[in-house]
Amino acid sequence: MTNLDIIDKIKSLAKEKDAVILAHNYTRPEIQDLADFVGDSLELSRTASKLSSRAILFCGVYFMAETAYILSPDKTVLIPDPYAGCPMADMITGEQLRRLKGEYPGAKVVCYVNSTAEVKAESDICCTSANAVDIVNKIDSNDIIFVPDKNLGSYVSKMTGKRLILWQGYCPIHAMIKPEDIIRIKQEHPSAKVVVHPECSEDVIALADAVRSTSGMLRYVRETDGKEFIIGTESGILYRMKKENPEKQFFPVRRDTICVNMKKITLEKVLNSLEKEEYKVTVPEDIRIRALKAIERMLT
């Protein structure tokens, strides 16, 4: 079967099964082209909470599909590959967070959406990279625990002026980007604007013109004058940037910043997922109810 045949089959099956296909900005180009909606974590959560379809087929990593299920437990939520995980989300467990909370009684807990349902259930409020600064700004407490991303946490701390108790998790893909990479590529393209994701380290962020979520980056390059942009995040974002701005030029800080988990979602697996209605993503009801509160506080 050619890719075009697979795409045709996916589209007719999705219609027949009343499934909406959501995809993250880092997924493969053919998956982004196929999806009904492509976005960052916040946009995908908002979209998932409003859909009226019977099923959601989530092209992204596991915690994203889990979030969709937490918001819409009446829907069948499918992920084409159940092993498409996020290593950062697995850097803290519910038990570890409970212990940390024990050390800081009364502290409010903010968890990055890149976390398991169990960690969300232990948190007061969720955030994504798009709204983390606003969320922390609104919290009225002297003690704020921020998990699991130390880099997003230290960026938020700087932007809000609040001291945060940080878990030492990080994204291994963004951790590949070093200040010397930015310095080198800036020398090659001196007039380019540098935009990076807040999962990058503090010393990388210090060299950037702008810090944005993935969809924030897309808006930034669209709305900013200038023809050249240096992009510090997972390479999958470049496809949409080039497609939406054919007159501009984009240079990845590094070419090897590839999230293998995002790339596990292929056309063949999407087709299989729809045909067999696998792999169904669910969350135990007691955890879902508590995680939902943290997500709803973020969305309202």
Closest listed residue to residue 68, CA positions, set 82, 93, 87, 51: 51
Tell me which amino acid residue 282 is.
Answer: T
Distance of CA 140 to the CA centre of its chain: 26
Q: Which does 21 bind (CB under 5 to 8 A by kind): ligand 13P, ligand SF4, none?
A: none
Sketch the per residue contact string, 103 through 122, with ligand SF4: x for CB under 6 A, - otherwise: -----------x--------
Q: Report the residue number, 157 or 214, with the smaller CB distance to ligand 13P.
A: 214
Query: Measured between alpha carbons, how far is 43 from 128 in angstroms, rounded to an integer?
Result: 10
Residues that bind ligand 13P (CB under 6 A): 25, 40-41, 114, 128-129, 171, 197, 199, 213-214, 234
Residue 234 CB, nearest approach to ligand SF4 (Å): 5
Residue 86 CB, nearest approach to ligand 13P (Å): 6
**Which pair of structure tokens corresponds to residue 106?**
């009364």
Q: What are phi and psi of 208, to 5 degrees?
A: -95, 155
**Is residue 61 at the binding interface for ligand SF4, with CB under 6 A as the rule?**
yes
Contact present, 265 and 27 (Cβ < 8 Å): yes
Burial class (CB in 10 A: 0-12, 13-18, 19+), 165: middle
**Is residue 126 at the binding interface for ligand SF4, with CB under 6 A as the rule?**
no
Closest listed residue to residue 264, CA positions, set 4, 31, 18: 31
Among 186-194, 255-263, 270-278, 279-287, which window interacts with ligand SF4 (CB under 6 A)? 255-263
Q: How many residues interact with ligand SF4 (rule CB under 6 A)?
A: 12
- Which of 38, 86, 145, 221 is the binder for ligand SF4 (CB under 6 A)? 86
Query: Measured between alpha carbons, how far is 44 from 39 in angstroms, rounded to an integer?
Result: 6
Q: Which does 87 bind (CB under 5 to 8 A by kind): ligand 13P, ligand SF4, none?
A: ligand SF4
Closest listed residue to residue 229, CA positions, set 183, 26, 240, 220: 220
Where on the chain is the footprint of ligand SF4 (CB under 6 A)? 61, 86-88, 114, 171, 173, 199, 234, 259, 261-262
